[in-house]
Structure 1
Amino acid sequence: MMNCCGLLTEKKEPVPLKSIDAQLEVKDHVATLVSTLNFENKEDKPLETVFVFPLPGDAAVCHFSAQIGETHIVAEVKEKQQAQEEYDDALSSGQQAFLLEESDESPDIFSLKVGSLPPGESASIRLEYVTELAVQADDGLRFCMLAVLNPRYQPQGSEGPSVQVTSVPASLVPYSLSFSAQVSSPRPISKIESSCSLEPLQYLNADQTQATVKLGAGHKFDRDVELLIYYKDAHQPSAVVEAGQASAKPGSLMGDPVVMVSLYPEFPQSVMSSLAACGEFVFLVDRSGSMDCPMNNSTPQETRISSAKDTLLLLLKSLPMGCYFNIYSFGSTFEHIFPTSVEYSEKTMEEALKKVEKMGDDLGGTEILQPLRHIYSQACIPKHPRQLFVFTDGEVGNTKEVTDLVKKNAGSHRCFSFGIGEGASSALINGMAKEGGGHAQFITGADRMQPKVMQSLRFALQPAVEDISISWDLPKGVAATVLSPPITAIFQGQRSLLYAQLTGQSSEEAGGSVTVKYSLAGHPSQNQLHFSLKPAEHSGLTVHRLAARTVIRSLESEERTQSGQNEEMKKKVVELSVQSGVSSSFTAFIAVHKDSGKSVEGPLVHRNVPTPFYGMGSMATACYYSAPIGMSFQCAPMSRMLMTDMDSLPDLCGAMPKSANFLYADCDDDSEDFGVEFNEPEVVLPSKDPLLQLVSLQKASGCWMLDGSLAAVLGKSSEEVEKAKPPPVNNEVWASILALIWLHAFKMDAKEEWELLSMKAASWIKAQNAPCVSECVEAGNALLGCGVKKEALGLSGLSTGFSLTMEAPQCRKEDTEVVD
C-alpha cells in the first residue's frame, strides 16, 4: 500500500527536495535571508524538478546560485523570455540548468526549476533576498518567512495562472526546515517573539545590541515563520549612506552612493489629543469559502469569518457620532448593507449589526475587484474623508490588478488592509495599504484580529496629513535624486522610508539634512534629519538593491497602468534589473552548468515539489457542508482538491453532509479515491465572550442602558445594580460608569480593543454634566469589588486622556434594541 498523500506529490511521485536551511541577518530594520534548498535524485532517471513557493511581495531577490559537487554556478539576471529559452536549450542538449522567475500575476510567488538532475546526484540551491521590516502598531518590526502558499483563486473569465501550484496539507510536507536569525541594531534588543516555537534568545554582547535565535525543532509547516523584533527607543530617525559598486558605471544607480532615510514623524500632542469625528468608513469583508477555516489550531471553533464579525461589532461601536459608514462583503459576488454610505446613528448601527450577525462564508470565490470598483464609483462625501478597511485571507490570483485599482483611486481614500490566517498574500495586503496610503496588518497564529484592527482605526481617526514635500540641504556640488514614490501618508509613530541617489563629490566628513514638510489639521509642521555623508561600513549593496527594487516596482506599475505592452518602460525595467541583479516581472535568474564534461542521458522525468497550504491542511478532518445525513455522493479525488482553491470546494464536492469527515486514505497505485465517514454532528456552542457581550450592549452615542443584560455581564443581579446607584444620578450615566469600571478593572489585557469605545463613553458622560460622578465611581467600585480611579476612566476633564470631538445626544430607552 502506498500513501497517496504522504511523502509523495499528488501524482504519487517522489519529492526530490529534501530540506531547506534558512539563515536570517537583521541589521536594524533591514533583513537579508539566505535560503539553501537541498535536492537529491533517488530515482533511476534524470529529473526536472519544479518548486513554486512564496516570498515577501516587497523583497528584492538578489542572488541565485547552485552547488553541484565541487562546482559552484552563479546565476545571471536576463530578460525572461531569453532566460527561458536558454534553460530549454540547455536541457535539450543534456546540460544541467536552473531557472528562477517571478509569477506574472503576483510578485510574491516564485517558480524554481532544477533541470537535468542525474540519478544519484545532489544539488544545493542558494537563494538570497533583502527586505525592509514593516513596523507594527505596537512598535515591533515584523519579519515573515513565508512557508505556506494557499492556492490563489482565479476570477471567472480571467486567464489561468502562469504557474501551477501543487499543494498538500501542511502536516504532510515531505521536506524539513531549519531556521536561524542573527539580529544587530544600534539600540538594545528588548525581545524577539514568534508564533512558532523558538529556542531561547541568546545575546552576543553586554549591551544587548546583538542576538541570535533559532526555530525550535519539528516545525510542521502549518504556519509562516514570523519574527517580531522589539528594540528599545525604536522610534529613532536614521540615514544610511552606502557607497556605489566599484565596477558599475558612474552616474548609474549602482555606481553612485545611495542614501536610505528612515523618518518617524512626531505630531504635536495638541493635535493628537482630539481624534477626528468625521469620515466615511467603508468595511469590505471576505466571505469566500476559505473564511470558514479556523483562525488557528488552538481554537478551532473560532473561524476567520466569526472573528471578522466580532471585529465589525467592535468597529461599529467605536465609530464617532456624525461620521458615515457602510459594510460590503464579497466572494464570487458582492453585497452591501446600504445602497450608499449612511450617517452613523443608533438606528443605522443596529440595522448593520443585525445583518452582520447573519453573515457567513457562503459567497464562493475571492473576487475582490468588483466590490472595489463599486466602492470607488460612489461619490465621496464632502468633509468626510473615505477610510477603506479590507479584511481577506488574501487567496487571490489577480494581485497586480487589485493593487493597481487601489493606486488609481488613492487620491480619494486611505486603505487599511488585514491579511487573515496563514498564507495570506503579502503582495496583496501590503500592496493595497501602500498604494492606498494606509496601513497593513497580518493576523496569524494565535493573534486576535480585534486589537490589530482597532490600532488601525486609531490611525484612520488621525487627521489626514496633507501637502507633503521633501527638501534636501547638501554640500555644494552634491545633489539628491529621490528614487522612492512620493510619500502620500504619514501616521504618528510610523516609519516613512525614502531612497535617494547622490551625485557629485564631497568630503566624507561632510553632512547633509533632509526635511519633510506637511500640513496637519491645518497647521504647518516639519521634521528634519541631519546625517553624515560618510558611507557605512560592511553594508554591501543592500541599500542599492532595495532602492533598485523600489524603482523597478514603480516602473512595473506605470507600465501596467498604461495598458501594458509599453516597450520603453519594459526596457527600463530589464536594464535596471540586469544592472542591479534584482529580479523583476520581466526578468529571470538563469544558471547553466556548461562545464560538466558529460551530458545527462535519457528522457527527463518531471517532478513537482508540493507546497504546504493551511486551510484544512493541518486538521485532516476539516471540511463541512450541509446535506441530509446518510446522503451518498461522488467527490473529486484528493489530488484534484489539493490543486484547487479552498474557495472552490463547495463546487467540487456538491452538497456535503454536516457530519462528513474527509479522511486521507491509504491508496494503492491505481486509485486516487479517499473515504468519507459519516457521524452524527456534535454541536458545541461557544460561550459568548463577556467583553463582546458588554460591547454589544453599548449604544451608538457611547452610553449603556441600565437593564438585566448589563447586570448579567457585570456578574450582578438587577436588584444589586439598582440598589447601589446614587439617588441623584440617572440610569444611563450610572450604567455607563459601571461599564467603564468593569472594563478598566477586569479587561485591561484587552484595552486596545475597547479603548476607543470607552473614550466615546467618557465623552458622552461628560457631555451630560451629570452630578455626583465621583460618588458614582466610588459606588461602582464598591459594587464590583475593585478600585479604579476616576482619572483612569477619563472623567476628570478634557485635559486628561483622549477625547472624541463628537455630538453626544441623550440615550433614550425608546431608541434601544439590544443586539446580542
Structure 2
Amino acid sequence: MPSHRITRKPRMFRRPARAYLQAWLAGLLMLLAPLAGATGGLETPDHGLLLHGDGRWIASLAMDTTVHMRVHGLLAEVSVRQTYRNDASQWREGRYLLPLPENAAVGGLSLRVGERLIEGEIREKEQARATYEAAAAAGLRASLVGQNRPNLFSTAVANIGPGEEVEIEVRYWQPVRYRDGVFSLHLPLSLTPRYLPDRETDQAGPRDPERLPMAAAAQAAHGALPPTVALTAEVEPGLPLQSICSPTHAVTVAAEGYTYRVTLAAGVVPGDREFELRWEPVPSRAPRSAVFTDRVGGEDYALVMLVPPTLETPPLPRELILVVDTSGSMTGASMAQAIEAADRALARLRPGDRFNVIRFDDSFELLFPGPVPAEPAAVARARAFVRSLRADGGTEMLPALRAAFQGAAPTGYLRQVVLATDAAVGNEDELLRLIENERGEARLFPVGIGSAPNGHFLRKAAELGRGSQVLVRDVNEVAEAMDGLLAKLDHPALRDVHVDWPGVAEAYPRRIPDLYRGEALQVVARLERLQGVVTVRGLGPQPWSRQIPLGAESVAPAPGVARLWARARIDELEDRLRRGGDEGELRPQILDVALRHGLVSRYTSLVAVDRTPARPGGESLGSTRIANATPDGSLALAQGSTGWSRELLLALLLGLGALLLHRRN
C-alpha cells in the first residue's frame, strides 16, 4: 500500500526523544489511524516501520544511498551504492526509480552479499529481465538495472532475507560541463512525477516512465521510507583553482596535493534535491581548449573542448515569448521561482522589443492575441498577469509551445521563446518532435525550475531549439540566472559551427548548436588515428576558426571517453528513432553499440545473479517499492496521489499537537 511520510529527517540523524514525546506522538498517530487507512498508511519519523489503518506497526524495507564521484579533467566516473536493509520477517524484493544525469553512460553493476561480490553483465533487455525473474523465483539473490528514460533508470534487488543487508553498486561516466568560466558536475537525487497526456504518444518508447520490473512471485508492494544520501567527490582538475563549492548543499572541502576531496557537511542528507558541484580555475589559468583521449578495442577516441571568444555585436531587436508552466507539479517554491524568472525577463525588455506571455496547465492562455510592442503600459499589465499566476492541473505543454512558435517575427526581429518549467512531462519525444519541426526561425531557451527538473528534456529542447538553457533552484538565484540568460540572448558567440577532423572520424553531436557567451563546445569522436589537428570554425560578425593539435603533450589520457562516445552515438540513433526512423534498422545499431561498450540503453540492461541458494522454497517473496523523496520546495498534495483534504486535515492535526506540546514545555 502507498504511504505518506511525515518527516524528511535523515535516519542517521535520529535524536533521542523524551518518553512523553514519543508516547504523545504514538498516541496521536493511533488516533489518526482511520485517516491512514484512507491514504494507505503513515510512517514513523525515524524507523523502517509503517502504521497501518488497523493500528498495527509493521516492519518495512529501507534503502540508503552512497555516492562517490571521481573527476579527472573533463571526465567523471561515479558510483551509486544502494544498501537495502530488510527489517521485516518476510523475504523481499526492493525496487527503486534511479534518476541520473541526462548524459550518463551507465555501464557497471555489482551485487554484494556479505563477502561475495558478483559483477553484472550487459544483455538484451528482455533476456536480462527473464534472467532476473527466473533467479528471483528460484530464491537466488539478483539485481537488475534498466533504462526507463535517458535520465531515469530502474533498479531491482530480489531475495533480501529478514534482517539482511544487500548492496548494489551502479557505475556511470559523464562529461564535466564548462560554462561561464566554471566547471560543474550535477547529480539528480530525486524526480518530479511525470505527466502523460491521455492521448497515445511516444510509440517508440515506454508508455509509463515509472514502469518497473517485478519478480514473478512478488506480492502486492508495501511502502518504504525515501532513501538518504551520503556523497563524496575527489576532483583532480589539472589546473589551480580559485574556488570549489556546491550551490545546492553545504560541503566540506579538503585539498590533498593536487586533489580536492569534497564531502557533505551534514554527512547524510535527504535525497530531495539535485546535487551540483562547481569549481572555478584561477582566471589566468582558465582553459581555452583541452583534449582527452581513450583507446578501447584497438580504436582511438577523443573528447575535445573549446571556448570560443565572445565577439561583440549590437543586439538585434527581439520578439520575446514567455511561456510559463503553471501545472500542479509547480506548486510551492517552483511556482515562486517561475514567477520571479518571468518578471525578471519582462523587466529587462528594451524599447523597440516585442513580447507576449503564455501560461499553461491543462489548457493554455495568451495574454495578448499576438506579440505587442514593449511599451510601459503593456509591460506593466504583463508583470501583473505573471504575479497573479497559480499552479494547478496537468502539464499539457505541447499546445502552448505550438502557439509560441506560430507565425513569424517581423523583419529585423529575432523571436526568442523562453520556457519556464520543471519539465515534469512523460511525452518528451512528442514535444521534441514539435520543437524540431515547428519552431521555424525561433530560438528556444528552457529555464529549468525547481530542485528536481527533467534534465534530459531541458538539454534536448535547448539543443533542438538552437538556444541555451539555465537552471533556477532558488528564488534568490533568479536575478543572476535570468540576467545571465538574457545576456546570452543578446550575444551569440558562434553560429553555423563545424568541426573538421583529420582522417576518418565519427563525431557527436553531429549538428552542433549555436554557442552563446561563455559557453564551451564539447565534441566526442572515434578517430582513425590520434594525430594531426582538429579545426573548429564558425560565424560571428565574421568567419572565425581555431586549430587544436591532437598529438600534443597537452593531450591527456582519460579512460571512459569511449563510453561517452558510445552514449552520444546511442543518443544520435534514438534521435533518428524519434524522428520516425525505421526501428527494424536502428534497433540492431543501438544494440551493437550498447553491447560492445557495455552500456544500459532502451534495448539493454545490466543483470547480476548470485548463484548461492538463498530463500527457502517454502518462503514467499514480497516486493517493496522505495519511494523517491518529494523534491525540496514542492508540496506533497500537488502530487495528486491522495485527496488534498485528508492531507490538509492531517497537517492541521499534527500542527495543533505540536503547538500544544510547545505550550506545555
Identify the TM-score tier after normalising by the shorter chain.
0.7 to 0.9
What does 1:376-775 correspond to in 2, within 5 Å?
Answer: 376-409=405-438, 412-445=441-474, 447-463=476-492, 465-472=494-501, 474=502, 478-504=503-529, 511-521=531-541, 523-532=542-551, 539-540=558-559, 542-562=560-580, 566-596=583-613, 601-614=618-631, 646=638, 648=640, 652-653=643-644, 661-663=648-650
What does 1:42-441 correspond to in 2, within 5 Å?
Answer: 42-103=87-148, 106-137=149-180, 139-158=181-200, 161-163=208-210, 173=225, 175-205=227-257, 209-217=258-266, 218-233=268-283, 235-245=286-296, 248=297, 255-268=298-311, 272=312, 274-294=313-333, 304-362=334-392, 364-409=393-438, 412-441=441-470
1:431 Cα deviation after fit: 2.3
1:114 Cα deviation after fit: 0.4
Name which of structure 1's ranges 404-413 and 551-560 shifts more when overlaid on structure 2.
Answer: 404-413
1:818 corresponds in structure 2 to: none
2:69 is paired with a residue whose SS is strand
1:741 corresponds in structure 2 to: none
Q: In 2 relative to 1, CA 283–14 (structure 1 residues): closer, same or farther, beyond 3 Å? A: farther
| Letter of the structure 2 residue corresponding to residue 141 of structure 1 | F
| Letter of the structure 2 residue corresponding to residue 373 of structure 1 | R
1:386 Cα deviation after fit: 2.1
Alpha-carbon separation, structure 1, partners of 2:265 and 2:236 = 21
| Letter of the structure 2 residue corresponding to residue 322 of structure 1 | G
| Letter of the structure 2 residue corresponding to residue 612 of structure 1 | A
Alpha-carbon separation, structure 1, partners of 2:50 and 2:184 = 32
Alpha-carbon separation, structure 1, partners of 2:88 and 2:97 = 21
Q: In 2 relative to 1, CA 606–9 (structure 1 residues): closer, same or farther, beyond 3 Å? A: farther
Greater length-normalized contact order (CA 8 Å, ≥ 6 residues apart): 2
| Letter of the structure 2 residue corresponding to residue 502 of structure 1 | L
Please say if residues 97 and 592 of structure 1, whose CA atoms lie closer than 8 Å, have aligned partners that are also in contact.
yes
Alpha-carbon separation, structure 2, partners of 1:13 and 1:44 = 10
1:88 Cα deviation after fit: 1.6
Q: In 2 relative to 1, CA 535–320 (structure 1 residues): closer, same or farther, beyond 3 Å? A: closer
C-alpha deviations, 1:21-56, integer Å up to 9, x for none?
A: 111111223222112111233333221111112111
Name which of structure 1's ranges 567-576 and 79-88 shifts more when overlaid on structure 2.
Answer: 79-88
Please say if residues 340 and 475 of structure 2, whose CA atoms lie closer than 8 Å, have aligned partners that are also in contact.
no
TM-score (norm 1): 0.67
C-alpha deviations, 1:617-658, integer Å up to 9, x for none?
A: 6xxxx68xxxxxxxxxxxxxxxxx6xxxx2647x9437x9xx
Please say if residues 159 and 614 of structure 2, whose CA atoms lie closer than 8 Å, have aligned partners that are also in contact.
no
Alpha-carbon separation, structure 2, partners of 1:10 and 1:378 = 57
Alpha-carbon separation, structure 2, partners of 1:448 and 1:537 = 35
Alpha-carbon separation, structure 2, partners of 1:519 and 1:189 = 32
Q: In 2 relative to 1, CA 279–422 (structure 1 residues): closer, same or farther, beyond 3 Å? A: same
Please say if residues 124 and 591 of structure 2, whose CA atoms lie closer than 8 Å, have aligned partners that are also in contact.
yes
Q: In 2 relative to 1, CA 597–310 (structure 1 residues): closer, same or farther, beyond 3 Å? A: closer
Q: In 2 relative to 1, CA 88–198 (structure 1 residues): closer, same or farther, beyond 3 Å? A: same
Give the aligned CA root-mean-square deviation in angstroms.
3.1
Query: Taking every aligned residue pair, what percent have the same amino acid on both sides?
Result: 24
1:80 Cα deviation after fit: 1.5
Alpha-carbon separation, structure 2, partners of 1:283 and 1:102 = 33
Alpha-carbon separation, structure 2, partners of 1:52 and 1:427 = 15
| Letter of the structure 1 residue corresponding to residue 422 of structure 2 | D
1:136 Cα deviation after fit: 4.4
Please say if residues 337 and 475 of structure 2, whose CA atoms lie closer than 8 Å, have aligned partners that are also in contact.
no
Q: In 2 relative to 1, CA 602–533 (structure 1 residues): closer, same or farther, beyond 3 Å? A: farther
Alpha-carbon separation, structure 1, partners of 2:226 and 2:97 = 15
1:489 Cα deviation after fit: 0.8
1:130 Cα deviation after fit: 1.3
1:224 Cα deviation after fit: 2.5
Please say if residues 484 and 500 of structure 1, whose CA atoms lie closer than 8 Å, have aligned partners that are also in contact.
no
1:213 is paired with a residue whose SS is strand
C-alpha deviations, 1:476-531, integer Å up to 9, x for none?
A: xx433323222121123211111111115x7xxxx42222222213x222232223
Larger Rg: 1
TM-score (norm 2): 0.82
Alpha-carbon separation, structure 2, partners of 1:230 and 1:289 = 37
1:537 Cα deviation after fit: 6.4
1:488 is paired with a residue whose SS is coil
Please say if residues 235 and 259 of structure 2, whose CA atoms lie closer than 8 Å, have aligned partners that are also in contact.
yes
1:13 Cα deviation after fit: 6.2
Q: How many residues align?
A: 596
Please say if residues 153 and 647 of structure 1, whose CA atoms lie closer than 8 Å, have aligned partners that are also in contact.
no
Alpha-carbon separation, structure 2, partners of 1:67 and 1:678 = 44
Gaps of 5+ in 1: 166-171, 249-254, 295-303, 624-640, 666-673, 680-820
1:267 is paired with a residue whose SS is coil
Alpha-carbon separation, structure 1, partners of 2:508 and 2:86 = 45
Q: In 2 relative to 1, CA 136–101 (structure 1 residues): closer, same or farther, beyond 3 Å? A: same
Q: In 2 relative to 1, CA 316–491 (structure 1 residues): closer, same or farther, beyond 3 Å? A: same
C-alpha deviations, 1:391-444, integer Å up to 9, x for none?
A: 112322223332343233466232211121111111122222222222222222
| Letter of the structure 2 residue corresponding to residue 314 of structure 1 | R
Alpha-carbon separation, structure 2, partners of 1:42 and 1:350 = 59
Q: In 2 relative to 1, CA 222–600 (structure 1 residues): closer, same or farther, beyond 3 Å? A: same
1:457 Cα deviation after fit: 0.8
Alpha-carbon separation, structure 1, partners of 2:210 and 2:303 = 35
1:606 Cα deviation after fit: 0.8
Q: In 2 relative to 1, CA 434–8 (structure 1 residues): closer, same or farther, beyond 3 Å? A: farther
| Letter of the structure 1 residue corresponding to residue 625 of structure 2 | N
2:167 is paired with a residue whose SS is strand
2:71 is paired with a residue whose SS is strand
Please say if residues 352 and 373 of structure 2, whose CA atoms lie closer than 8 Å, have aligned partners that are also in contact.
yes
| Letter of the structure 2 residue corresponding to residue 430 of structure 1 | R
Alpha-carbon separation, structure 1, partners of 2:656 and 2:633 = 16
* 1:4 equivalenced with 2:42 (yes/no): yes
1:57 Cα deviation after fit: 1.4
Please say if residues 65 and 74 of structure 1, whose CA atoms lie closer than 8 Å, have aligned partners that are also in contact.
yes
C-alpha deviations, 1:179-211, integer Å up to 9, x for none?
A: 111111221122122245545321112xxx421
